Structures are given as structure tokens and as C-alpha cells.
């Protein structure tokens, strides 16, 4: 009996040890602006976004004992991010930080000044930087590709696969609101393939019967039908649109579809385009989530023992009832009822296209396509499935269909620069022409008389020339001004052509750390770095280079009182 009790005791303690703290990394009421598995462009959201009351600088704490396994600072993406490997094998990630804790910030600054680079990615050795549970590790911010102050927080398992952090917390985030239903859709699926069809989704009218119950018009159709839904979740205290946790579908009471969005791997990120209808999102900004599984869809989120989720409507007198249940993490749900009546229909899914310059793409083949001034190279498995795409060249623009067909991996394009003289070739680059007719830099990599680019989106591409240098201006400072009371120096930079590539700043010929916020186009220097400690006069020099090598320099003097 004593041995049995001791076994239970040690087992209980091992279970406790295997779990991280049940607390969140912030000491404020937790309100989310983003949930785990939420639908983002080309990927599922791998963590949760915690609101920070519209402010920066809130203290961020480690959720468990461990060591710093990675420190990363980028201009985009996660901005300033800290990765902690915990003693139980899990990892946690804290992103978009304003700055790190003093002990980590000291290490980071030393590396940045040693490398003369703001951006970095370092992997400290195991236990070099030990972290205790609830230890201060940083301050919340808005760095990287962030559209407002918040903390992006992730939890990962021993294999570095993302986990839903809310599963491990002692108390839930306040949420009594069922998922919002914005639209119900369907499309005809070809009888000879479950790869879907080239036809667009059609919308079914729905009527709200209660807070969480809807019914659609009767669908009159025949054959194979795939359904889709446009839905998102909301939580108490916020108007942010967040992701669902689980989706189920039944036909006459029998479950035929079950999807759990609480588990995925980073290898599956880009395969979100097999779940969300890419064309609807790109063309209409509508996120139609498919309630069926196409044969090229590799996601592990489905219960595949139920089949592919496609509804087969056969000839009979009585109605079928298709139902959809949409769940959030706290098990609030909305349900949609869809009456279905058989009606003979012509199958138009294989109707031939009358478009010219169409090319049949087999995913198991490679293609090297030459045009007057361009070359397109497509590797195997560049597309999710076999496709018919339109490629042609017109008025020095390479048209590669429309960005309504997703790419699984990038394809290579090469555009000639023959029409430019030697002085302009060095300033040329490939630009993507957006729908609003604006353009964005893609590549300036030269290869013989061509520019080469790896593109991740279909669309229109052309060669442009940028011979204009970037712009630099000081913010709230003039030549020879005394600025002793300021904590930071701020500089506005901009380039309307190929875009900013690199920047460098010095004070009295000593390199200074300039933090770049590309969303605002602002460089910031923190006077606490104490580059000049001996002279009140300071000579600031800043050099900006754009993506084709145009350079703009700024040189000015300012004064600061020396503190003893």
C-alpha cells in the first residue's frame, strides 16, 4: 500500500512539473485580438495576440523555468522576439516586444554594436541565459509587422509544434459570444474528381432564427456539392475578428466533416490555401472556409475517417438536411441548417475556356517558357494541383494569370533589360504591378542581360528604373540645436521607387544603433547608449541606400549637455 501511495505521489508531482505556469505572460486582464489557428494570409496563426490597452511598455514575464534559446530582431515579422526553452521540453515565444529585460537587453546591445547591425538572430547555448518562472523578460511593444501595440504569445511542444496556449491556462478568456456567420456558399464538384472545380462559389441566402441558429434557402441541386462558410469568432470586450476552433457538418444527422483548428505543424502553414478559397479571398476579400477536403489537401486537422465531406444529392422525394456547427475555443457555437432538394442540373464544370495563351500545368512536370523579353520557369509541385493558367507578354509586361491561384512554392521569372542603356541597367529592377496600378520592388538580381526574381504570387511583372535617391529628414530638430532633454533622436526616411534597402548612422564617427520602423519609416536612436560622453558637440551622419544602390546622406550637428 505504501509503495502504491509513493507511486501516485511521484506521478502527481511529475504531472505538475510537466506543465508550465497557468498564468499568462502579462499582469493585466486578458483580452485577445487574435486567436490560435486564426486565418491569416498564407498561414494559420500560431499563437494568441494579447491586447495591451493600446500602450507599449507593459511588463512581460516568462511562463515557466527554462533558458533563452533564441533572440531575434527583424524589421518585419515578429520584430523583437524572445524564445524560451522550458525545463519540461516545451517552448514559449514572445513577439513584437518594445525591448528586452535589462539583463537580456545588455547582451543584445553588445551583439548589435559588435556586428554594427540592428537586426540579429542568435541562439544562446543551453542554460547560458537561465530564466525563472514569472521572471521579467521584456516589455510589450509594436515592433515588426504589427498594426497596433500587443503581445504575440506562442507555446510549442517538444517537437517545436505550435500548441494553443489557452489549453494550458488556469482561467479562460471571457467569451460568451457565439461565432458570427457572414455567409454560406456552395459549388458543384465534378463527378470524376474530388480536386474541386474551376467554378466559383455561389452564395445561399440565410436567415437568423436566434443568436446562434440560422437557416438557409432550400438548395435545389444534384450530384456532388461542396459547401463553404464565411465565419469568424468574437470575444467579450473586443470587436476584433478571430478564428474558429472547430467545425462540424452533418447530413441527415450523420457526421461527414470534422475539423479541429487547435493543432497543426509549421510545415502545414502555407496549405491554408487548400482550406480557404484563395480566389474568393483575393478577388472579393471573403474568407470562404471549405467544408470538404480536396485530394491535394494534406492538412492533418480533419477527421479523415468521415470521408471528404462532399455531399452527394441523389434523386428522391424527401428533403435532406445538411447542418453546420461552428465552435469557438470556449464551446460557444453557431449552427446553420440547409434544406436540400434534388433537382436535375447540367454539369457545366468542364466548360472549355475561350481565353488565349492558356497553358496546362501538370504538378509533376517542369516548364521553361520563353516569350519575347521574358522567361518563366516552373518547378515540379509549384502549384497545389494541376491547373490551366494564362501567360503572355504585352507592352513590356509579363502577365502570369491573376493572383487568384495560389502557389505552393515560388516560380522563377527572368525579364530582359535590352531596352535600357548601360547607365540605367544598374538602376533597373523587377516590380510587381498591384491592382491599384502601384508597383512594389521584387528583385534587382542581374544575370547577363536579364533580371531574375523568385515570385510567390501570380500577377503582372515588369522592369522599372529608379534613379532617384531616398529622402532623409530630421524630426523636431534643426542644425546646431541643443537637445539635452531628449531621450531619443528620430529621423524620417522614405523611398518612393525601389524602396529602402540599408541604412547606417554615426555620431562623431562612431556607429550608432538606429531602430527602424518600416511601417512608419522612422529611424530612432536611444541616447542611453551613450556614444558620446565627453563632448557636448555631436556630428550626426546618416546614409540611406535604396534597393538599386541610390544613396542619400545627411550630416548635421547638435549639442547635448554632458552629464557627470
- Which candidate, 457, 468, 451, 407, places its Cα nearest to that of 433? 457
CATH 2.60.220.30 is right for the domain spanning 358-465: yes
Grid cell at residue 474: 530630421
* Residues linked to residue 140 through DSSP beta bridges, in sequence order: 97
pTM score? 0.90
CATH architecture of 471-559: Sandwich (2.60)
Tell me which fold the domain 18-168 belongs to: Glucose Permease (Domain IIA) (2.70.70)
For residue 310, the Cα-to-chain-centroid distance in whole angstroms is 29
Instruction: Go through 395-409 and write b for each residue having 16 or more CB atoms within 10 A of its CB, e for each that does not.
Output: eeebbbbbbbbbbbe
Region of 244 please: left (phi>0), alpha (psi -120 to 50) or beta: beta
pLDDT per residue rounded down to tens, the chain (564 residues) = 433 333 333 333 333 333 455 688 999 999 999 999 999 988 999 999 999 999 999 999 999 999 999 999 999 999 999 999 999 999 999 999 999 999 999 999 999 999 999 999 999 999 999 999 999 999 999 999 998 999 999 999 999 999 999 988 776 788 999 999 999 999 999 876 545 556 789 999 999 999 999 999 999 999 999 999 999 999 998 999 999 999 999 999 999 999 999 989 888 888 999 999 999 999 999 999 999 999 999 999 999 999 999 999 998 888 999 999 999 999 999 999 999 999 987 655 445 555 678 999 999 999 999 998 999 999 999 999 999 999 999 989 999 999 999 999 999 999 999 888 888 899 999 999 987 788 999 999 999 889 999 999 999 999 999 999 999 999 988 999 999 999 999 999 999 999 999 999 999 999 999 999 988 999 999 999 988 888 899 999 999 999 999 999 999 999 998 876
End-to-end CA separation in angstroms for the chain = 72
Torsion sign, CA atoms 456, 457, 462, 464: negative
Supply the DSSP symbol for 141. B
Asked whether this chain's domains 18-168 and 358-465 adopt the same fold, the reply is no
User: Which residues have C-beta within 8 Å of that of residue 248, sequence separation ≥ 6?
Assistant: 255, 257, 258, 259, 324, 325, 327
> How would DSSP label each residue in 359-407?
EEE-TTS-EEEE-SSEEEEE-TT-BSS-EEEEEEEETTEEEES-TTS-B
| Residue 480: Cβ within 10 Å count | 9
Annotated domain spans of the chain: 18-168, 180-342, 358-465, 471-559
Amino acid at each position: 500500500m505504501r509503495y502504491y501511495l509513493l507511486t501516485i505521489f511521484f506521478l502527481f508531482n511529475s504531472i505538475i512539473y510537466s506543465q508550465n505556469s497557468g498564468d499568462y505572460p502579462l499582469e493585466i486582464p486578458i483580452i485577445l485580438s487574435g486567436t490560435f489557428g486564426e486565418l491569416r494570409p498564407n498561414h494559420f496563426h500560431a499563437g494568441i495576440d494579447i491586447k495591451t490597452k493600446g500602450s507599449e511598455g507593459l511588463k512581460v514575464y516568462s511562463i515557466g523555468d527554462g533558458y533563452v534559446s533564441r533572440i531575434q530582431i527583424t524589421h518585419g515579422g515578429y520584430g523583437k522576439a524572445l524564445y524560451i526553452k522550458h525545463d519540461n521540453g516545451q517552448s514559449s515565444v514572445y513577439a513584437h516586444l518594445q525591448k528586452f529585460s535589462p539583463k537580456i537587453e545588455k547582451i543584445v546591445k553588445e551583439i548589435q554594436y559588435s556586428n554594427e547591425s540592428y537586426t540579429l538572430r542568435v541562439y544562446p547555448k543551453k542554460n547560458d541565459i537561465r530564466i525563472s518562472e514569472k521572471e521579467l523578460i521584456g516589455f510589450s511593444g509594436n515592433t515588426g509587422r504589427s498594426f497596433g501595440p500587443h503581445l504575440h504569445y506562442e507555446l510549442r511542444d517538444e517537437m517545436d509544434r505550435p500548441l494553443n496556449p489557452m489549453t494550458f491556462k488556469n482561467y479562460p478568456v471571457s467569451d460568451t459570444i457565439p461565432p458570427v456567420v457572414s455567409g454560406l456558399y456552395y459549388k458543384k464538384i465534378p463527378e470524376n474528381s474530388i480536386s474541386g472545380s474551376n467554378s466559383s462559389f455561389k452564395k445561399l441566402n440565410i436567415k437568423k432564427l436566434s443568436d446562434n441558429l440560422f437557416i438557409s434557402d432550400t438548395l435545389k441541386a444534384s450530384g456532388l456539392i461542396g459547401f463553404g462558410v464565411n465565419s469568424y469568432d468574437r470575444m467579450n470586450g473586443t470587436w476584433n475578428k478571430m478564428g474558429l476552433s472547430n467545425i462540424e457538418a452533418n447530413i441527415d444527422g450523420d457526421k461527414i466533416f470534422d475539423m479541429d483548428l487547435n493543432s497543426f505543424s509549421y510545415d502545414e502553414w502555407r496549405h491554408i490555401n487548400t482550406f480557404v478559397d484563395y480566389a474568393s479571398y483575393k478577388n472579393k476579400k471573403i474568407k470562404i472556409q471549405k467544408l470538404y477536403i480536396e485530394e491535394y489537401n494534406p492538412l492533418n486537422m480533419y477527421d479523415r475517417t468521415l470521408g471528404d465531406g462532399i455531399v452527394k444529392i441523389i434523386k428522391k422525394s424527401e428533403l435532406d438536411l445538411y447542418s453546420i456547427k461552428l465552435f469557438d475555443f470556449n464551446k460557444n457555437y453557431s449552427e446553420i441548417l440547409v434544406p436540400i432538394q434534388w433537382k436535375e442540373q447540367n454539369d457545366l464544370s468542364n466548360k472549355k475556356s475561350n481565353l488565349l495563351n492558356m497553358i496546362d500545368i501538370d504538378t509533376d512536370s517542369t516548364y521553361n517558357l520563353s516569350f519575347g523579353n521574358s522567361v518563366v520557369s516552373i518547378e515540379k509541385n509549384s502549384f497545389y494541383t494541376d491547373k490551366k493558367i494564362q501567360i503572355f507578354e504585352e507592352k513590356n509586361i509579363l502577365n502570369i494569370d491573376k493572383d487568384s491561384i495560389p502557389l505552393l512554392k515560388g516560380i522563377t521569372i527572368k525579364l530582359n533589360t535590352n531596352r535600357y542603356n548601360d547607365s540605367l541597367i544598374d538602376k533597373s529592377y523587377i516590380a510587381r504591378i498591384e491592382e491599384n496600378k502601384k508597383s512594389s520592388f521584387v528583385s534587382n538580381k542581374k544575370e547577363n542581360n536579364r533580371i531574375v526574381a523568385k515570385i510567390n504570387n501570380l500577377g503582372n511583372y515588369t522592369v522599372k528604373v529608379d534613379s532617384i535617391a531616398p529622402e532623409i529628414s530630421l524630426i523636431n530638430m534643426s542644425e546646431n540645436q541643443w537637445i539635452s532633454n531628449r531621450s531619443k533622436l528620430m529621423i524620417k526616411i522614405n523611398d518612393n521607387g525601389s524602396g529602402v534597402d540599408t541604412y547606417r548612422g554615426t555620431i562623431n564617427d562612431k556607429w550608432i544603433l538606429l531602430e527602424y520602423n518600416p511601417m512608419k519609416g522612422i529611424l530612432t536612436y536611444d541616447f542611453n547608449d551613450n556614444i558620446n560622453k565627453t563632448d557636448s558637440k555631436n556630428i550626426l551622419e546618416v546614409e540611406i541606400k535604396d534597393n538599386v544602390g541610390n544613396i542619400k546622406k545627411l550630416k548635421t550637428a547638435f549639442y547635448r549637455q554632458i552629464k557627470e
